[in-house]
Chain A
Amino acid sequence: MTDTTSLPAGPLIKGKLSRDDLIMRGGMMVIALYLVVTLAFPLWAMLSKSFSTYRIELSQYEFQVSDDNGVFSGTILNGTQLNTETGAYTDQELSTGSDGRLSVTPFFPDFSFRSPVMYKIRNTVPDGRFLIGSNLQKGTDWVELDSNTFRRVQLRPIKATGVENFANYFSTPALFNSVKNSIWIAIVSTIITVTLAFWFAYALNRSCMRFTGMFRLVAMAPILVPSLLPGIALVYLFGNQGMLKELLFGASIYGPIGIVIGSVFFTFPHAFLIISTALAISDARLYEAASSLRSTPWRTFWTVTIPGARYGLISAAFVVFNLVITDFGLPKVIGGQFNVLAVDIYKQVIGQQNFEMGAVVSVVLVVPAILAFAIDRLVQSKQVALLSARSVPYRPKPHPKTDRIMLIYCSMVALFIVGMLAVCQFAALIKFWPYDLSLSLNNYQFDKMDGGGWGSYFNSIKMALLTAVIGTSIIFFGAYLVEKSNGFKTGRALFQMFAMLPMAIPGMVLGLAYIFFFNNPSNPLNAIYGTMAILVICSVTHFYTVSHLTAVTALKQMDTEFESVSASLKQPTMKLFARVTVPVCLPAILDISIYLFVNAMTTVSAVVFLYSPKTTLASIAVLNMDDAGDIAPAAAMGMMIFYTNAAARILHLIASKGILSRTQAWRSR
């Protein structure tokens, strides 16, 4: 008898790939390549930028000075030596950015551009560089210049790799303080938001109060506006000329208070959704057991309700933390002198043109963002394991007193949300706050303001539509390929990893990384810089992960044997995809597209570095008009985004219902 305990030697069977296998692997490679180019490469470019240091190496230059007759004595002067003698530049001045330039005349105290003295200059190393006017001089040959030309000589820095940027960052208190500020703000906002959202979700899921549908709707409203809109509302309420300024008792809304209130507003729906899901899946049998053991409601709350929802709470906390710490729009509008990381990136890049330092701050910001993201993923994977098929859904019983308290509480939260939006709408319609309170539509004449006018609004719609259509196609198809193709395990695992990465990358960081990567003249993709294309690509990549997960969840519910059946019937997999997969997953596909549309309409952080005068966007216009002091038009534009998104949602709802009733007839028995 032959040995059956181990595989015999000899060649293994190597499967022949079918046409479908090739198409699917090819498709997967294309989408993986898309992710590499739009995500991995830019991030790599940013990382290497953060480690790039630029320094003017004086020792690499030599000079000669003639007498008044233009005769050179032959004495050669070294740059370092000259600087030591004259003390012209401090060491810090020699550390510079990629655009650094250094004039050489301070080395010569007797220098006058009218004198007949001649000067010679040369590089001592072949890769040394200096400018005469705008002409770059390389090589080690001596260049003889008259004094009038010599004053136009500028030394250029040498690029090196090192951690100096980081050392510089951590030794500059003004910069380093932002880390503390950001974390502090994020923690406080997280605690407040999660607490508010928990009780709100609890009231909606566990009490018999009325109007739950309406409250659910209101709770989701902040998702439809850019994160900086609550900032504008707060300026109107508590700013220097605010309606309720006295309520702050002299404290300023510009700073941590404003950021926290605004953050609570815009992160509330995210926390509410997660916690609500966690509370909805609780098992009624546990409550029956608790009441049969005569547990007090308070004890039941702490031993059943909270443990059941703990994964939801933890997950919500990390999501909110991540949203707050990476948010740019809100602290930009209401932060005042209170610096946070995301705004620092913007200031370094746009304000000071210090790209290296912008990259450094980005790297610093990515660390807490990735940590929060990783923990959230871990927690969410445990949440799934909690679901059991035998769970009995909990049905709350009427409890007039509690129900009334819950109703009052929810009304207050709803009032906060609706109030913020109403203030913005009100402000947009007032002629000139606070002096002329008559209503007018003047603030809607965007063309008279900074920010690109109505054009940016239509650009935004175009961008959001393109993002929704292109993004949904790429993401759903990519998810299908990675879920349903055979073999190719490493490739698929790698693809999954790439698909998860965007969630961990803050928008500011992604946008900045795009500058470094796509604005590089030697990049063949340089042409898309400054176009609509880069905005769409950036948005698709930025919001890839959530969409991908939605698609994967929907695809996992499909019978795994559909592809096998189709192959056995000798039908191309793409026919199955078009005829069965897409129609069955249509609800998920519509969800992905509306998610992409709404986010593309409201995003500020990712695109703030990437728009051009031709591709201004509504959300950026809000930012720029606010920056220019046109706060009322900014509020008006912010509300336009709100109404557009609300309309898109309603359209989506109608379309879903219409399409579902036509194509999903099979769902009903």
Chain B
Amino acid sequence: MLKKTSPGDLYLSIQDLWKAFGEFLALRDISLDINEGEFICFLGPSGCGKTTLLRAIAGLDLQTKGTVMQDGKDVSNLPPSERDFGIVFQSYALFPNLTIEKNIAFGLENTGRSKSEIAVRVAELLNLVGLPDQGSKYPAQLSGGQQQRIALARAIATNPGLLLLDEPLSALDAKVRVHLRHEIKELQRKLGVTTVMVTHDQEEALAMADRIVVMNHGVIEQVGTPTEIYRHPSNLFVADFIGAMNQLPAVAGDAETLELGGSILKCEPHSLQKGNRIVAAVRPEDIIPHGEGARSPDAPDVITTPENAFEVLITEMEFLGSFWRCRLSHQIFGAKELIGDFSINAVRRLGLEAGGQMMIELPRNRLMAFTPAEEG
């Protein structure tokens, strides 16, 4: 395929896209730009519309309204066969009665390629996905992971400008999944093909995507790089959906503070109205454990340094292999407990144990303020 664009240029542009199933709105006013060569993940809980959006891009289920521009061309109303994409499904959808070679060659036939050209291309693709000598087998004779690689090879055989992956790893074992996601990412980088993957697995999205599109209830909640999404979630849904997040009811202070159970804490800058009810949020792994020694010797009751620090009670400790998960309580949390993940090192160094006291710090650049969910 001859492309007009080069890496980094705008390749796929979705504007004001709506999808209605009867009364139900599956996609609501979606606009999104995807650049050439990017790896994009649609991430969200089931029913959020991510697969619907993918199928609209493919033309498999047309959107009700809105435009899809691909490579500078309006493809909004084109059937799948007139668009330029390869697709891999969760079920692999390999043709069971055709050998692996025939499966991969399926899209290469009737394209003006000679038989020998096709054979060469098939061998090349089998090499690319690391299954060079499996060509004469039938799909049922391969493992799930191998089948998915064949499905991938079949999808990229014709060098499509866009690769669509619909939960490609969901049907696989955890170990195979981790291994294969690395391979897919590698392959995508090597080929430089613009890729959109749908997943409900945040770890997968964080590991693979250049940018993640977080969706919920048919709308895009946030678009950003994995670190942006993780570090600076734009709302409580994203904060809660990606990774673990402690949530405590609080009141907004001025632009860089919030009030938690009567204490004023420094936090990430926010634009919330002072005095409003808000949610203070911090990730378990961002809580910094301090030993007793961090307490100021001059005034033992008041903790001056570090800022945002207080003494908590460890109510419970759970060993999770690579770290300890601790439940921490303090009067300013109210009835809620804070969850803190501490390294094994820290636990040993500070001598932490259930029922004991410890000092923690909620770092100001990791403590976030969000509008509560009901209003969002």
CA distance A70 to B110 in the complex (A): 91
A20 touches B (CB below 8 Å): yes
What sequence of 0s and 1s flags, for each residue 648-669 of chain A, a beta carbon within 8 Å of any chain B beta carbon?
Answer: 0000000000000001111111
B89 touches A (CB below 8 Å): yes
Contacting pair A564 B158 (CB below 8 A): no
Given the known interface contacts A561-B89, A565-B154, A580-B97, the answer about A14 and B77 at a Cβ–Cβ threshold of 8 Å is yes
Contacting pair B82 A568 (CB below 8 A): no
Shortest B217–chain A CB gap in Å is 9
A16 touches B (CB below 8 Å): yes
CA distance A135 to B342 in the complex (A): 110
Interface range for B:
35 or more
Contacting pair B79 A567 (CB below 8 A): yes
Contacting pair A18 B96 (CB below 8 A): no
Choice from B62, B79, B85, B98 contacting A579 with Cβ under 8 Å: B98
Shortest B25–chain A CB gap in Å is 7
CA distance A5 to B23 in the complex (A): 11
Within 8 A of A (CB), among B106-155: 106-107, 109-111, 138-141, 154-155
Within 8 A of A (CB), among B54-87: 58-60, 62-66, 76-83, 85-87
CA distance A664 to B98 in the complex (A): 10
Q: Which B residue's beta carbon lies closest to that of A3?
A: B29
What sequence of 0s and 1s flags, for each residue 511-548 of chain A, a beta carbon within 8 Å of any chain B beta carbon?
Answer: 00000000000000000000000000000000000000
Shortest B263–chain A CB gap in Å is 34
Choice from B64, B80, B91 contacting A567 with Cβ under 8 Å: B80
A583 touches B (CB below 8 Å): yes
> What are the residues of chain B within 8 A of A20 when measuring CB–CB?
79, 81
Shortest A566–chain B CB gap in Å is 8
Shortest B254–chain A CB gap in Å is 25
What sequence of 0s and 1s flags, for each residue 1-33 of chain A, a beta carbon within 8 Å of any chain B beta carbon?
Answer: 010111110101111111111000000000000
What sequence of 0s and 1s flags, for each residue 83-112 of chain A, a beta carbon within 8 Å of any chain B beta carbon?
Answer: 000000000000000000000000000000
Shortest A597–chain B CB gap in Å is 25
Contacting pair B58 A564 (CB below 8 A): yes
A385 touches B (CB below 8 Å): no
CA distance A321 to B67 in the complex (A): 57
Choice from B62, B65, B95 contacting A562 with Cβ under 8 Å: B95
Given the known interface contacts A565-B93, A666-B97, the answer about A8 and B65 at a Cβ–Cβ threshold of 8 Å is yes
- Number of A-B contacts defined by CB within 8 Å: 118
Chain A: interface residue total (CB-CB under 8 A): 40
Contacting pair A10 B65 (CB below 8 A): yes
B270 touches A (CB below 8 Å): no
Looking at A2, A17, A568, which has the most chain B CB atoms within 10 Å of its CB? A568
A68 touches B (CB below 8 Å): no
Shortest B364–chain A CB gap in Å is 30
> What are the residues of chain A within 8 A of B157 when measuring CB–CB?
569
Choice from A559, A571, A668 contacting B107 with Cβ under 8 Å: A571
Contacting pair B85 A568 (CB below 8 A): yes
Choice from B29, B59, B85, B93 contacting A4 with Cβ under 8 Å: B29
Choice from A19, A562, A583 contacting B93 with Cβ under 8 Å: A562
Looking at B16, B29, B80, which has the most chain A CB atoms within 10 Å of its CB? B80
A279 touches B (CB below 8 Å): no
B354 touches A (CB below 8 Å): no
> What are the residues of chain B within 8 A of A566 when measuring CB–CB?
106
> What are the residues of chain B within 8 A of A13 when measuring CB–CB?
62-66, 76-77
CA distance A338 to B89 in the complex (A): 63
Contacting pair A568 B58 (CB below 8 A): yes
Main DSSP-derived SS at the A contact region: loop
A390 touches B (CB below 8 Å): no
What sequence of 0s and 1s flags, for each residue 567-583 of chain A, a beta carbon within 8 Å of any chain B beta carbon?
Answer: 11111000100011001
Given the known interface contacts A7-B20, A15-B62, A579-B98, the answer about A561 and B93 at a Cβ–Cβ threshold of 8 Å is yes
Choice from B64, B82, B97, B218 contacting A16 with Cβ under 8 Å: B82
> What are the residues of chain A within 8 A of B140 when measuring CB–CB?
666-669
> What are the residues of chain A within 8 A of B141 when measuring CB–CB?
669
> What are the residues of chain B within 8 A of A6 when measuring CB–CB?
25
Contacting pair A7 B25 (CB below 8 A): yes
Contacting pair A559 B79 (CB below 8 A): no
Contacting pair A12 B96 (CB below 8 A): no
Contacting pair A568 B80 (CB below 8 A): yes
Choice from A4, A575, A668 contacting B28 with Cβ under 8 Å: A4
Contacting pair B20 A16 (CB below 8 A): no
Shortest B101–chain A CB gap in Å is 13
> What are the residues of chain A within 8 A of B77 when measuring CB–CB?
13-16
Shortest A511–chain B CB gap in Å is 40
Looking at A14, A666, A667, which has the most chain B CB atoms within 10 Å of its CB? A666
Looking at B81, B85, B98, B140, which has the most chain A CB atoms within 10 Å of its CB? B81
Shortest A279–chain B CB gap in Å is 31
B310 touches A (CB below 8 Å): no
A584 touches B (CB below 8 Å): yes
B288 touches A (CB below 8 Å): no
What sequence of 0s and 1s flags, for each residue 242-253 of chain A, a beta carbon within 8 Å of any chain B beta carbon?
Answer: 000000000000
Within 8 A of A (CB), among B222-262: none
B265 touches A (CB below 8 Å): no
Contacting pair B82 A569 (CB below 8 A): no
Q: Which B residue's beta carbon lies closest to that of A586?
A: B97
Given the known interface contacts A564-B93, A565-B154, A580-B98, the answer about A571 and B58 at a Cβ–Cβ threshold of 8 Å is no
CA distance A569 to B98 in the complex (A): 16
Q: Which A residue's beta carbon lies closest to that of B56?
A: A13
Given the known interface contacts A12-B65, A664-B97, A666-B138, the answer about A18 and B219 at a Cβ–Cβ threshold of 8 Å is no
Contacting pair B64 A663 (CB below 8 A): no
Contacting pair A568 B64 (CB below 8 A): no
> What are the residues of chain A within 8 A of B93 when measuring CB–CB?
559, 561-562, 564-565
> What are the residues of chain B within 8 A of A568 when measuring CB–CB?
58, 80-81, 83, 85-87, 107, 155, 160
B11 touches A (CB below 8 Å): no
Looking at A16, A19, A21, which has the most chain B CB atoms within 10 Å of its CB? A16
B370 touches A (CB below 8 Å): no
Given the known interface contacts A10-B65, A569-B107, A664-B97, the answer about A16 and B78 at a Cβ–Cβ threshold of 8 Å is yes
B18 touches A (CB below 8 Å): yes
A16-B77, A559-B91, A564-B93 provided; 12 other pairs, C-beta below 8 A? A4-B25, A4-B29, A7-B18, A8-B29, A564-B80, A566-B106, A568-B87, A568-B107, A571-B106, A571-B110, A663-B97, A664-B97
Q: What are 19 A-B residue pairs whose CB atoms fall within 8 Å in the complex?
A: A7-B20, A7-B25, A13-B63, A13-B65, A13-B66, A13-B77, A16-B82, A20-B79, A559-B93, A561-B93, A564-B58, A564-B60, A565-B89, A569-B86, A569-B154, A570-B111, A579-B98, A580-B96, A666-B140
Nearest 3 pairs of A and B residues by beta carbon:
A569-B107, A18-B79, A666-B138
Contacts from A to B (Cβ < 8 Å): 2, 4-8, 10, 12-21, 559, 561-562, 564-571, 575, 579-580, 583-584, 663-669
Contacts from B to A (Cβ < 8 Å): 16, 18, 20, 25, 28-29, 58-60, 62-66, 76-83, 85-87, 89, 91, 93, 95-98, 106-107, 109-111, 138-141, 154-155, 157-158, 160, 218-219
